[in-house]
Amino acid sequence: MDSGEIYYENAEIYQEQVQYTDWIFQYNQLLPSKKTEKIALLQKIFGSVGNDTTLMQPIHANWGKNTFIGERVYSNFNLTLVDDTKIIIGDDTMIGPNVTLIAGTHPLNPELRLKNAQYNLPVTIGKNVWLGANVIVFPGVTIGDHSVIGAGSLVTKDVPENVLAYGSPCKVIKKIENS
């Protein structure tokens, strides 16, 4: 699943995935005031979760174990992680509502899709990034440190560090200068 090569879903993959999706369901049912229980479940679900990280409910993920979340990350509601391979979210990142990070995808060939073929490309979100509401990040994309992605953007290609980028497809608008 991590090679970037085509593979096919099977019963063994499905059985492992169900355990993670059950934990995600449990997390989404917890009362917001149940902070200790929420932290414990996040640590079971994800590859890693940094201190002082907040993920507003609900969250959605294909797995969870393939996502690595830094320190002091804040995500508003409806974060969706198609984490069939690695998704990395850097420290101090802010994620708006309804953001989708996609590491899994399918081939264009219709015969392969009929066989449930899939391949995956990692997604990396740098440190101190702000992803606006309804941003969608495509497989294989890296967003550089300190960049801002405007609301509603479709991020189909890498974005360098220290820039404002937005649009569909997302394009760099300007460099962010320290003022």
Per-residue model confidence as pLDDT tens digits over 119-129: 999 999 999 99
Q: Is residue 96 part of a domain?
A: yes
**Is the confidence at residue 134, as pLDDT, over 60?**
yes
Q: Is residue 75 part of a domain?
A: yes
Q: Is residue 2 part of a domain?
A: no
Q: Does pTM surpass 0.85? A: yes
Q: Is residue 107 part of a domain?
A: yes
Task: Identify the pLDDT of residue 3.
Answer: 85
Would you say 133 and 98 are in contact if contact means Cβ atoms under 8 Å apart? Answer: yes
* Structural domain total, the chain: 1
Question: What residues have CB less than 8 Å from 123, skipping those under 6 apart?
Answer: 86, 87, 88, 101, 102, 103, 137, 138, 139, 140, 141, 142
Q: Is residue 1 part of a domain?
A: no
Told to judge if 146 belongs to the known catalytic residues of this protein, a careful annotator would answer no
Q: Is residue 124 part of a domain?
A: yes
Out of 34, 35, 106, 113, the active site residue is: 106
Residue 152 Ramachandran class (φ > 0 left, ψ -120 to 50 alpha, else beta)? left
Residue range 99-116: mean pLDDT, rounded: 95
- Three-state SS at 111: helix
In sign, the C-alpha dihedral spanning 50, 56, 57, 59 is negative
Would you say 156 and 166 are in contact if contact means Cβ atoms under 8 Å apart? Answer: no
Q: Is residue 82 part of a domain?
A: yes
- The pLDDT-based confidence of 146 (bands split at 50, 70, 90) is very high
- For 60, the token pair is 């959605």
Weakest mean pLDDT among 16-20, 62-66, 87-91, 175-179: 175-179
Residue ranges making up the domain that contains 90: 7-175
- CATH number, residue 88: 2.160.10.10
Q: Is residue 123 part of a domain?
A: yes
